[in-house]
Amino acid sequence: MSDRTLVRVLKGESVFPPPVWMLRQAGRYLPEYRETRARAGGFLDLCYNPDFAVEVTLQPIERYGFDASIVFSDILVVPHALGRDLTFVQGEGPRMTPMEAGDVARLDDSAFHERLAPVYETVRRLRGALPEKTALIGFCGAPWTVATYMIAGRGTPDQAPARLFGYRHREAFLALLDRLADCSADYLSRQIEAGADAVQIFDTWSGVLDDACFAAYCERPVRKMVERLRARHGDIPIVGFPKGAGARFSRYRAATGVTALGLDWAVPLDQARALQAEGAVQGNLDPQRLVAGGAALDEGVDAILAALGDGPLVFNLGHGVTPETPPEHVARMVERVRAAGGRR
């Protein structure tokens, strides 16, 4: 594990050209993924069937040879394993019954790991199927982001339902975040035991919070998760991705103790360089540059490598690859990153 390039970089080593992978690299932009999903049936059938989940996780590795693979699943399997209902509507996303304050105490973790056993089996199979040099990343959603879907029952533009819930029912909301932090840390721990080399915590909606709520809802629960993981797994690399954190990225790393920071595409490269002086960073190409291709893609890749290539960098997108991305543009991006050493 320690010899895999991604692991070394996440722990602070500088490697050029940097390792490269993509958020949502197994997904709808690939025709082979669409074919597998059609065979699987519903989205959750794909997530909970190790045969299909392994197949789609390996597809981008086989096509592009990324330096890391991230297990195919979804952040909402955690509340689903706590007994909340969950469906996915084609073209619209997840649907859950919205939570009320009294529902927090009724969350049921009695079969939590049993319900998530297919994910752990997928991780075990992947570690045996991946090339030896390819790192395997486990993941979960951060408590705040997962809670926003649980409370609203769906994604919303600014997560106003969850923010209002937190103001009106603070005690219940903090209890929900604590419960999610404990269960999510245990979920990541099982992924590590199954073979994950590193884990990533996605806080997609951290950018909608004010300062006090960012500390209480994003930093505090993730710190709890990191401490739980460190007690069990030592220096396992933990990537925190508080999308939209802006000026708070540095304090987020210090407050949570994550090993590395995932950066969204809006983070200026001079800020990214300052953050890199504190530890590894990951990102942060605008996914729309990947859709556009051509000069827009090349210029974006080159700017990131020029600004961050001398420090610990994992080259990635600033958020997930979008369904309309041409697969040949992904190949061009990977080739340009890997050919950068010859252009120096």
Mind telling me the catalytic residues?
Answer: 24, 28, 37, 74, 149
Question: Which sign, positive or negative, has the C-alpha torsion 17, 243, 30, 332?
Answer: negative
∠ CA 297-303-307, nearest 5°, is 150
Q: CA-to-CA distance for 21 and 283, rounded, in angstroms?
A: 9
- Neighbouring residues of 210: CB distance < 8 A, sequence distance ≥ 6: none
Q: CA-to-CA distance for 183 and 178, rounded, in angstroms?
A: 9
Q: CA-to-CA distance for 117 and 207, rounded, in angstroms?
A: 32
Residue 45, Cβ density class (10 Å: 0-12 exposed, 13-18 middle, ≥19 buried): middle
Closest CA to 66 of 32, 19, 29, 33: 19
Stated length of the chain: 344
